[in-house]
Amino acid sequence: MVDSDPVDEKILDAALERILLLGVRRASLDDIARRAGMNRITIYRRFTTKDNLVEQVLRRELLRVLGEVTAVGRAAVGVDEQIEATMCALIRATLTHPFATRLLEVAPEDALSFYTLRGEELVQAGIFYIVAFAERGQRAGVLAPYEPRPVAELLARLAHSLLLTPNGGVDFNDEAQTRQFVRTTVVPLLKYGMGQPDTGLAAKSAES
């Protein structure tokens, strides 16, 4: 792993703080530079534009969230439990991360525009993560040998829709409802794909 640049990290920290306080549009590079304790030229030299800086802030937060979600899933025992723990943690993070709560409070129109314009990046990151999760399980022999991308796209789009419309039929703020939803829909989807369950795999999972 490449060590992060401390100056870049300081700029990203300042940018995140100002974005969550003021919104994306109102958080100027001058504000961010003052908060970081450096001049605006340094930020331009390292990130070129404000859009690039915002993109890097979002990417860093995505990596942080996915790292935390992965740790939660790996702590569970058994494939069903790992899937359930991972997806519940992902849903919880989607609903509770400051980008999903503070940004909506301080600049709701800003948040809507942000998640719409950058939706492709968020969905692609989700697809990449879920495909990797499924492929690891397939190599380990605990998930059926299906094509994971359609499943990953479906689940990534579900997570993105929660950012824009958190309320619906299932109350995802309720832990019991979330777990029931994940257990009855997401777990079998990730284990078997969109086809019929592999009875041999099911028996193997039951034994493990």
Query: Token digits for 184?
Result: 């009855």
Residue whose C-alpha is closest to residue 87's, from 151, 182, 156: 182
pLDDT tens track, the chain, 208 positions: 445 789 999 999 999 999 999 988 899 999 999 999 999 999 999 999 998 998 899 889 888 999 999 999 999 999 999 999 999 999 999 888 888 788 878 887 777 777 777 778 888 988 999 999 999 999 999 999 999 999 999 999 988 888 777 778 889 989 999 999 999 999 999 999 986 555 455 445 545 4
Please tell me the chain's helix, strand, coil percentages from 3-state DSSP, rounded to the nearest 5.
75, 0, 25
Residue whose C-alpha is closest to residue 88's, from 201, 185, 194: 185
- Cα separation of 55 and 61, whole Å? 10
Helix or strand run (H / E) with residue 71: helix 50-74
Q: What is the pLDDT of residue 120?
A: 82
Cα torsion 120, 123, 127, 128: sign: positive
Strands (E), the chain: none
Q: What is the pLDDT of residue 201?
A: 54
- Cα separation of 181 and 144, whole Å? 21
- Cα separation of 44 and 29, whole Å? 9
Cα torsion 69, 75, 79, 82: sign: negative
- Cα separation of 32 and 14, whole Å? 6
- Cα separation of 186 and 191, whole Å? 8
Total-model pTM: 0.82
Q: What is the pLDDT of residue 106?
A: 85
Query: Token digits for 167?
Result: 């309320």
Residue partners of 24: CB distance under 8 A and separation at least 6: 54, 103, 107, 110, 113, 114
Residue whose C-alpha is closest to residue 106's, from 18, 32, 28: 18
